Structure 1
Amino acid sequence: MAYQYVVLRCVPRPDREEFLNVGVVLHCQSSDFLDADWSVDADRLRALDAQLDVDRVCEALTFVDLVCRGDERAGEAARQSLGQRFGFLKAPRSTVLQPGPVHGGMTLDPARQLRHLRERLVG
């Protein structure tokens, strides 16, 4: 099955153009799959910016989870189709949490592929 994914990046100080990968969002239309997997290393993030509010980064990632699940707490974005939700999550934003470019691939198991990508690209 074909899938698309974006890597979520924490960009504490955009002026320095430094970022740390903190999560992955994967969408597989043919299996009605949309999910995120993330991991935050507070020490590594604080090495980029000692003043970074790591709790806010985690809150933003939790919001991504809510959108993926279609949870009403995520507002209008969560009420859309899976494809539209992925479109919302992959759209560039000028916030501390930013999606990277869209990539794709093929898999037999989207959930397993998501875990693999998070382990390989985030740690």
Structure 2
Amino acid sequence: MPPREDDAFQYAIWRVVPSVERGEALNVGVVVYCRRRQFLAARVLVDDDRLRSLSPDLDVEAVRTHLDGMVRVADGDPAGGALAALPQSDRFGWLTAASSTIVQPSPIHTGLCADPTAILDRLLARLVA
């Protein structure tokens, strides 16, 4: 069996920025998009203690709810609302758009992969966990 060809993918890190004034952020998730493989998925990992060390008054449950909604949009889950019904490329654009909310995306990065799910897991472990 010939080796599987790698495909281009894009990803962004989701960060919680409790106080824009302080400029502190904590990585809490990753979203990966691979157009050729029709893959869009996100994973989150929220460390309550680390978030509270940045902002003791932060409503961590509200942050979790927001992130869960973003994962639903990535998954195309109808519970994610109208955005979840958009094509994958549009959903990725929405999930990586600059925003002034408490959850902010990093710049978009690119790479090559044969297995986008494995890449998502590896990025989450390396950049968030």
Q: Please indicate the TM-score interval, normalised by the length of the shorter structure.
A: over 0.9
Q: Which residue is equivalent to 1:111?
A: 117
Q: Which residue is equivalent to 2:4?
A: none
> Of 61, 64, 70, which residue of structure 2 is paired with 1:64?
70
TM value normalised by structure 2:
0.93
Identity rate, percent: 44
Unaligned 5+ runs, structure 2: 1-6
Ranges of 4+ aligned residues in structure 1 off by more than 3 Å: none
Letter of the structure 1 residue corresponding to residue 38 of structure 2: D
Higher helix share: 1
Deviations 1:36-80 (A, max 9, x none): 011000000000000001101111110111101112222221111
Structure 1 position 94 matched with structure 2 position 100: yes
> In the TM superposition, what is the alpha-carbon distance from 1:92 to its structure 2 partner?
1.0
Q: Which residue is equivalent to 1:6?
A: 12
TM value normalised by structure 1:
0.97
The Cα RMSD (Å) is: 0.7
Q: Which residue is equivalent to 1:82?
A: 88
Distance 1:113 1:72 in 2: 25
Rg larger in structure: 2
Structure 1 position 50 matched with structure 2 position 56: yes
